[in-house]
Every structure is written in C-alpha cells, then in structure tokens.
Amino acid sequence: MDDAHFATDIGRHIWETKYRFDRGDGRAERSVAESWRRLADALAAVELRDAETWARRFHGALEGFRFLPGGRIMAGAGTGRRVTLFNCFVMGVIEDSMPSIFENLKEAAMTMQQGGGIGYDFSTLRPAGSVARHSGTIASGPVSFMRIWDTMCATILSTGARRGAMMATLRCDHPDIERFIEAKGESSELRRFNVSVQVTDEFMAAVSEGGSWPLVFPADQLGEGDGETLMRHWPGRTGPVPCRVLRRVDARTLWQRIMRATYDYAEPGVLFVDRVNATNNLWYDEHITATNPCGEIPLPPYGACDLGSLNLARFVQQPFGTRAELDWPALERTARTAVRMLDNVIDASEFPLAAHADRARGTRRIGLGITGLGDALIMLGQHYGTQAARETAERIMAFVCHTAYRTSVDLAREKGPFPLFDRDAHLQGAFIRTLPEDIRAGIERHGIRNSHLIAIAPTGTISLLADNVSSGVEPVFDLHAERRVLNADGSRSTYALTDYAYRLWLEDNGEDAALPDYFVTALELEPRRHLLMEATLQPYVDNAISKTINVPADYDFEDFRALYAEAYRLGLKGCTTFRQNAVTGSVLTPLGGARPAEAPIHCCTPEREAD
C-alpha cells in the first residue's frame, strides 16, 4: 500500500499491523490520514460545543506526526469496539487469600484483553514457607504467583502484533526480596514481567550507614509466634500496622545483590517509592507502590493513565545550520491541543473495570510527554552529552510542562476541575509549589482539570510509526540499525532502519559529507551522561520518566553501582539500566552487528511497551 505520509517501510508496517482500522467488510483505512481523521472526530465528539472546530484542531495536531497519541488511542478511538483507550493500569490490592489472588488474576486478564498494560505490587502476599494464622496453610510466596500471571499473559496475548506488558514490584523489606531480585536470572523466567524493587529512603540510609535491615510482614497474617515487631505502612492497610521481623540482613549486602542482578540481566529496576509519594500531586488522596509496565506512570490501586507525546523533531526549523531553532509557537499550540485531546480520551474511552473508570474520571490523570529529543538535539547542532544540550532539553521540558498546566487551568475554568480536587491540599503539593506563580494563582482561582499532566514514555512503537525518530528522551540508538518486529500473524520481519535526523542530513549533504560530531549514539555516550539528562528533566515531570541508561558490556561494576547512588542523590523517582548480554537479548541491533544466538526478547523492548 502506498501512503505518501510515510518515508520509511517500517512506519507503514507499524501502521498497517497495529493502528490501521479494518472494519472486516473490505472497508479498511487506506492511509494514515484516514486514521488521523477517525481519531480527531472521535475525541472531538465528546465536546459539548464546537465539536467540528475541535476536530479540525485535533487533526492539525496529528498531521505530520507532530503529536503522537498513545497506541491504544491510535488503535481504538472511533472504531466502535469495546476497547480501552488507556495504555496503562495499576491493578487492585491482592489480599493474601486464594479468592483474592484469583479474582485479581481474572481482573488482569480482562484488562490485558482490552489492550492495557498492568502493574502490581505483590508485597501483600505472605513470604514462602510462612504459615497462615487462620488456615495453617504454608505460603509459596509472591514469585510463585507471579508465574501464574506470566502464563496468563502469554495465553491472552499469544498471537498478533502486540504483546502483553506487566510490572511487578516488591518492597525492599519483604522477606522474599532476594527471591524476587533473582527471579529473572534465567532467560525463560517471567519474560512478560518487568520487575522493580520498592526502595525506601530508610533503606538507602541503611546502605549508606552500613546497618542491618529488617525483613518484615504484618503480624496478623502470620501464624502464632513471638519476636520483634516494628510499625510499618503496608499496602492495602490504613495507617501503620505491627509487622513481625522474620530475619535481618546486611543492608549493603542486599543492595549489592540488587546491583549485581541488574548488572547481569538488566533487572530488577529500582523505584524510589518514598520520593514518588512525597512528590505526588495527589499526596492527600492516594498512596503509590506500583507503576505501569515501563515506569513512567506511578499509579495507586486501579489507577489509569492515557499517554501521548510531542514529536520534537517535527518542530525544528532550518535544521543543522546556524539558524536552526525550535518553532516555539507551534510547539505551544500543539501542546495545548494535545492536553485537551488527552483529557477527552477519559470521556471517550471504555474501561476494563468499573474501578478503573472511577479512578480515571475522579483524577483525570494524563501523561503528555516528548519524543524525538535525541534527533531534535542533533538537528539543532547539539551533542546529547553536553551541558548545552541539557540546557536546551530543560528549556523545552519546562515550556511543555508549564504550557500543559496553564491549559489544564483553562480547561478547569471551562469544564470544571477533576472531581477529587482539594484546593488547599493540592496547592501544598511538593511539585505544585515549584510551578510559576501565575499557574499556582490560576489553580487557586479556578482549580485544575487534571491531577497530573506530564509523563515521558519510551514511545518505541509510535516513534517507529513517525518514520523512526529517536524514542522518548533517549539519544539516537544508532544511525543505521536492524529491527525485528511482529507481524499480525505473530511471525517476525526484520527491517533496516535509518535514523530520522541522519536521513535528513543525507538528503541535504550526501553520503560523502563529513558527519558533525553532534551525531552521537546511545552506546557512544558515557552512561552518566544518560543519567544527567534524565535528572535535568525530572523537575518538570509530575509523573515520571521512562529512561534506559545504556551500559556497555565491559562497564566496570563499581562504576555501575555508582550510577544508582547518583540517581538517588539527583532526585530521580527510579532508575533502569540495560547492559546487553545473553539473558537480556535485543531487538535493536546495529546494522551488520551480531545478534546473540537464541536471545529471548527482553520485557522492556518496544514490542512490549504499552504504547
């Protein structure tokens, strides 16, 4: 099929296999422009006034891949199918009982069947070998039940061009934390899960000071026994509860095990959970212990979020020259339109569960982000690893954040604030207090339409759709690469990729021209430069950032550990690294590079992103 909107074969393939609407009666969409029209009309239909005007504006934002809604929105809006338009969910609290465990498994299956990625906190399940107080049964532990979820995910989404995505978290003081840390050491184990440890400030202090670390569980769920108890906040409980200390470990040794596991096979990630809650705009209404599958949306039980990204590469004017500049007015217009579109998704969407609908409509949480940052910096003549590039990225992120917040205040004045809005409490939020005075005054006067507004997703698939722009806030992976993708029948195809900015350079300069040094790729950057970029943007992101710190295979382990310590010191909400090896595998390979034999697909690859 010939579609002039695509300059790459892989962009056309992604549209045809994931986002093109086929009614099943021979009337399939003939171009991505028809998909844009379907999407714009569907999201404008919830407007009470001027729906046609908004449809035109929405279509204008989509044209040229300037705004890239999340994949569930692209695939489902306007189709009439009973599917969710939300990419991400965190599920309910799993009570430590068989009825609750399998009710949660059913809810997960229903959510994934509609296309949503899910996150779970498994900390509520008793540690392996413990005896239940009332039934006397012996627990098999959280990791054993995660295997059931993993099998369900494989079964529900066993065919087609999408794969399931799940996140599992566990508290750093749960007695099964070592089993959890090492759960993915085998290449065949829990492949449909990402896993992250909930790391607390208290634990990081124990690591710094060299103290012992208590592993605990609520005493009222354990069999009779004596021993030390500590008061702890526990998921699913109101207020602190007495927790029995089952054993103690050396904090530094436990941290070393986390670091060694993620060095060896890229997991677990680390979620700085106290920081997540301390900076949550809804600190007065919810407590967060889990995230969506790629980590950019920390969510409470039954929380949901719809995502979309501004494609920065499409806003660069006169690229590569001394007059290269971002089109700031166009970026502002598109950001304002994108916020309204994502807010309308909440009203246009179906939901897998009533609890999801209640939370989404109560908070009206959205996640507007950016993609193509790496390409945009190249087109502006800036090296990703430099202070100048970070300053540019910071200016962009602050501009997007503040534009989004001003738009949400305007929407609250027009349509009303989100139902769970508490004016006095909201204005006391740590993130809200960092906003410019005019935004805070607007919130005080009119309220705000959305509890959260900014999230930076990995955008692997939708960036391919947009002719292979660099994904999210990542640098360019490689100027030339090969990419394995799923076909609609579940088979795989391999595409040769050329980076978007590099392709434009070649068109203007030819292959013989010397390449400027700002054409830098992910593995050419020292890992700390990745970290510094993420830390630069974090102050302008009220949800979180999905960022992979690429680490060379021969990177020193002590330097690797230092990355995580610095991530904590710099105020990040989490940290994820990727050091390719036989366990992790890869779907992106430098053109002509060797692919690990029989390498499985790692769960963090773009095929399993919830985009």
Residues in the chain: 611
Distance, in Å, from the CA atom of 585 to the CA atom of 308, rounded to the nearest integer, reads: 28
The CA angle 213-229-99, to the nearest 5 degrees, is 95
- Amino acid, single-letter form, for residue 269: G
Among 292, 311, 450, 543, the active-site one is: 292
Nearest to 34 by CA among 5, 73, 9: 5
Provide CB contacts within 8 A for 59, sequence distance 6+. Answer: 36, 37, 40
Helices 142-156 and 98-113, interaxial angle, to 10°?
Answer: 30
Instruction: Please check whether residue 342 is in contact with residue 70, taking contact to mean a CB–CB distance below 8 angstroms.
Output: no
Q: How does DSSP classify residue 66?
A: S
Q: What is the DSSP letter of 30?
A: -
Handedness of CA 470, 476, 477, 479 (dihedral sign): positive
Burial of 135 (0-12, 13-18, 19+ CB in 10 A): exposed
Look at residues 73, 36, 88 and name the one whose alpha carbon lies nearest to residue 58. 36
Distance CA 479, CA 500 (A): 9
Please give the full DSSP string across 390-417, using - where no structure is assigned.
HHHHHHHHHHHHHHHHHHHHHHHHHH--
Choose, from 16, 107, 296, 534, the residue flagged as catalytic. Answer: 296
**Which 8-state DSSP code applies to residue 428?**
T
SS3 454: strand
Q: Beta 212-218 vs 117-121: how paired, if at all?
A: unpaired
Tokens representing 318 are 């006169």
Active-site residue (options: 88, 243, 294, 604): 294
Q: Report angle CA 238, 242, 244 to the nearest 5 degrees.
A: 135
Catalytic site includes residue 277: no
Beta strand pairing call for 166-171 and 117-121: parallel
φ and ψ at residue 591, rounded to 5 degrees: -55, 125
Phi, psi for 49 (deg, rounded to 5):
-140, 150
Nearest to 223 by CA among 107, 340, 136: 136
Q: Is 294 a catalytic residue?
A: yes
Do residues 567 and 531 lie in contact, with contact meaning Cβ atoms separated by under 8 Å? Answer: yes
Distance CA 258, CA 266 (A): 10
Distance separating the N- and C-terminal Cα atoms of the chain? 24
Kindly state the greatest CA–CA separation across the chain: 77
- Alpha-carbon distance 578 to 60, whole Å? 37
Report the b/e string of 319-338 with b at 16+ CB within 10 A. bbeeebebeeeebbbbbbbb
For residue 367, give the nearest of 470, 272, 281, 476 by alpha carbon.
Answer: 281
Active site residue 52: no
Residue 191 CA to residue 398 CA, distance in Å, equals 36
* Residue positions annotated with a catalytic role: 292, 294, 296
